[in-house]
Chains A and B, each alone.
Chain A
Amino acid sequence: MWEFLIPLFAATVQSGTPILYATLGEMMTEKGGVLNLGVEGIMSVAALAAYLTSYYTGSPWLAFLAGGTAGMAFASLHGFVCITCLGNQVVSGLALTIFGLGLTNFLGVPYVGLPAPGFTPFDFPLLSSIPVIGDIFFRHDMLVYVSFVVPFVFWFFFRRTSLGLHVAATGEMPAAAAAVGLKPIALRYFAVIAGGFLMGLGGAYLSLAYTHLWTNGLAGGRGWIAVALVIFAFWRPGRAVAGAYLFGGVMAFQLRLQAMGTHLPSSLLLMLPYLLTIIVLIFSAWRGRRIDAPAALGTNIEPEG
């Protein structure tokens, strides 16, 4: 039993990591009051940017940052449309996803199947020797270890810094923030771009640590799962971790079932994560906790007068 479960859980952590980055990115954006449905597109673009950087420079760390930067650039496009031009947030996000997927498919053609340097797993000193826990959590690549820290930083940012408080106030009630002399527009840009950075890191993980080579459709719907997970997590980073690993688990399990040669058709198994998404959304709605959503989420700040 253990010899089956431990590798499964380890794989769970690995496939949950890009989802975790993306979920926290979307959560950051939504905390500031902006809905970004472009996660899938942003992750794709970031995955390609990271891959190309690594391919040409050979530096995985530079590539990782390039992924985050590409995410920021793409997200700021969404910010410009929604925050400055007061465009519809849903439409802009969807457009971003479609554009991002098309762009990466087009630009990535010459590189399909070519490997690039990335992050490889190593045993984390000391911690990896803890029985079970060490095997599950501490025999991964560096980006997984980084992802362990991000939720704490996220929590600390919103609970313990004034900037986090200002961003949250902007997502809840921009008028109240403006009334005390804060700048809601700037704060929203911050949330959108910082969120884009995290989404970009999630995308970079896919090409740098998950595959080490370029292939089309790398994001594989993870961006959409992240959007759903933010609701599932009630906008709390701790629950985002649980949600990301739950989905990572389903993905890993599905792969394993296929490898074991089950009679179930693989397309049915591939549906599992999305079926779970629907179940999770119904469950969240049924619990009626929508009240936790930032009150001004999805509404633009109209100029006065």
Chain B
Amino acid sequence: MTTSAFVRPARVRPLPEDAAPVVSLKGVTKRFGKVVANDGISLDIYPGRIKALLGENGAGKSTMMSMLAGRYQPDEGTIEVDGVPVKFSSSKDAIAAGIGMVYQHFMLVDSMTVAENVLLGQEGAFFINPKEMESRVNELARSYGLDVDASDYICDLSMGERQLVEILKLLYRESRILIFDEPTAVLTPEETNRLFEALWRMTEQGKSIIFISHKLEEVIALADEIAILRRGRIEGELDPSAIESKADLASRMVGKEVLLEVNRQPMDLGSLVLEVRNLTGLGLTDVDFSVRRGEIVAVVGVAGNGQKELVEAVTGLVKPPLDTVFIMGQPWRKFFAESTWNRSMCYIPEDRLGLATLRNQNLVDNLLLTTRKGFARGMWLDKKRAERHTVKLIEKFNIRPGRIHALAWQLSGGNLQKAVLARELYREPRFIVAEQPTQGLDVSATEEVWSRLLEARKMAGVLLVTGDLNEALQLADRIAVMYRGRILGMLPTSEAETASRIGPLMAGVLD
């Protein structure tokens, strides 16, 4: 997928001087507990134009769109439709105001036909006629040039076709503003092309489109306007034709300014804890690097460039090819066969409430999740001792609420992350894989996680996968930049120009 793959229709589309926005966000702020997800956002959406919203995971894109779609209410600021302030109390209100959203996970009933899905809740009469419903939907599809057969069952459709059905649902409800949350994530390049053509056609009929993405090429190819969202704020609005390079866009998306600083002293390097040798496959190409005890190696890149695959290969979630991954000096097969619960490898996943913890279990059981063997006495589990240790860890890591019987889901993101960190560090790991460890955390929690990771270097080597460039620069000794499954550069943070070299590498620019 390169930029040239998208054939953009020739159209001169300057924004008319007198254009009035259909939707405006005015100083919208949304908080979740202490975390500010959206901070004073102001944005105008114009009819017949495609506004791309570019931002990393956790930048606040989804929160903002959920407010537009009526799922959340802003804490501050107003949303205006046609210049009139509105308050949505449910998605029904938003739909009535002409705002519709296509979610990443389709809301379609697999065992029903396209027509039934499109007209669900909008049949118009108590008695229905399948034939008539199908012809109504087929006609709608034709009028927008969408290639779908209304009599097909959803379960027989490809992901791209299902997306068209979601679009038809919005069009049938006469939505004027269509929001797409990462719509190309599930599509093939060919389907992506077709989606883009459909989107352009819809703008010609006066629809406004908001396109949420972190894929630079797509945003540049598709959008009429680009807004960059970072850490809950609008970082800037750009005209795609004014963009000098992808690198420029990438660095604006991830940001450069230092938000937090920590005092990091280099440590003496110890033995190898991770060695990846010419790993090709699983969506990765020629990945080759190593991590030693006493250092933090960060992996950065625009999301979806192979970071997830690398983590899965290293942590044993998927089987990497033979003789490519060596952990603590052993080939992965041998390592995982013989690994012990402590003084070994630990993994701090991005998905805190899914992969890292059991949401409906208390802190003791969640502690035991990975430390079970440490609390075993013969075939019995010494739960009393586990409880005592949980109390100690809660104190040491200042986890709130300080009750050992609190369930995982009752903890805030920051406290849950501290609990995961406490558990994993209790295992005295020699090698730590930390994935987006501070995503969505507030400043104090972030600081705490950082200092714990820095301290952990005394006993371990750390592989830090992060979308936050500042985090990489603050914590890491070396930074690997990934692009399309390759490591394009391994940059030492001790060199001054590293920070400025990362942006271009993230966009795939080598010079």
> Which candidate, B121-129, B234-242, B379-387, is the interface stretch facing chain A?
B121-129
Question: Contacts A166-B121, A181-B121 given: A295-B92 contact, CB under 8 Å?
Answer: no
**Cβ-closest chain B residue relative to A165:** B116
Within 8 A of A (CB), among B87-109: 91-92, 95, 103, 107-109
Residues A165 and B123 in contact, CB atoms below 8 Å apart: yes
Complex contacts, B125 vs chain A, CB 8 Å: 162
Of A161, A172, A175, A180, the residue contacting B128 (CB under 8 A) is A161
Q: Is B455 an interface residue, CB under 8 A from the partner?
A: no
Contacts of B293 in A (CB 8 A): none
What is the predominant secondary structure among interface residues of chain B facing chain A? Answer: loop
- Closest Cβ neighbor of A293 among chain B residues: B111
Instruction: State whether the Cβ of B186 lies closer than 8 Å to any Cβ in chain A.
Output: no
Count residues of A near B (Cβ-Cβ below 8 Å).
Answer: 21
The docked-state distance in angstroms from the alpha carbon of A180 to that of B119 is: 9
Chain B interface bracket (under 10, 10 to 19, 20 to 34, 35 or more): 20 to 34
How far is A33 from B464 in the complex, measured between Cα atoms in Å?
44
Q: Are B127 and A169 in contact (CB under 8 A)?
A: no
Given A165-B120, A166-B120: A159 touches B130 (CB 8 Å cut-off): yes
Say how far B62's CB is from chain A's closest CB, in angstroms: 15
Interface membership of chain B positions 57-70, coded 1 if the CB is closer than 8 angstroms to chain A and 0 otherwise: 00000000000000
User: Given contacts A161-B127, A163-B126, A165-B116, are A172 and B121 in contact (CB under 8 A)?
Assistant: no
A165 to B473, CA, bound (A): 55
Q: How far is the CB of A161 from chain B (nearest CB, A)?
A: 6
Q: Is A181 within 8 A of B107, CB to CB?
A: no
Interface residues of A in 135-165 (CB under 8 A from B): 159-163, 165
Query: Chain A contacts of B108 at CB under 8 A?
Result: 173, 176
Question: Cβ of A181 and Cβ of B91 under 8 Å apart?
Answer: yes
Contact A162 B126 (CB under 8 A): yes
Complex: A176 Cα to B166 Cα, angstroms: 11
- Say how far A230's CB is from chain B's closest CB, in angstroms: 16
Interface check A77, CB cutoff 8 A? no
Q: Is the beta-carbon distance between A173 and B107 smaller than 8 angstroms?
A: yes
Interface centre among A173, A175, A182 (most CB of B within 10 A): A173
Asked if B112 lies at the interface with its beta carbon under 8 angstroms from chain A, I say yes
Asked if B112 and A177 sit within 8 Å, CB to CB, the answer is no
B130 adjacent to A161 (CB under 8 Å):
no
CA distance in complex: A294, B112 (Å):
11
Q: How far is the CB of B351 from chain A (nearest CB, A)?
A: 18
Query: Do residues A165 and B110 form an inter-chain contact, with CB atoms below 8 A?
Result: no
Give the docked Cα–Cα distance between A162 and B169 (Å): 16
Docked complex Cα distance between A98 and B107 (Å): 39
A251 within 8 A of B: no
Residue B107 contacts which of A168, A176, A292, A294 (CB distance < 8 angstroms)?
Answer: A176
Contacts of B169 in A (CB 8 A): 180
Contacts A179-B91, A181-B91; is A165 near B122 (CB within 8 Å)? no
Given contacts A162-B123, A177-B121, A295-B109, 4 further A-B contacts (CB under 8 A): A165-B120, A177-B109, A179-B91, A181-B95
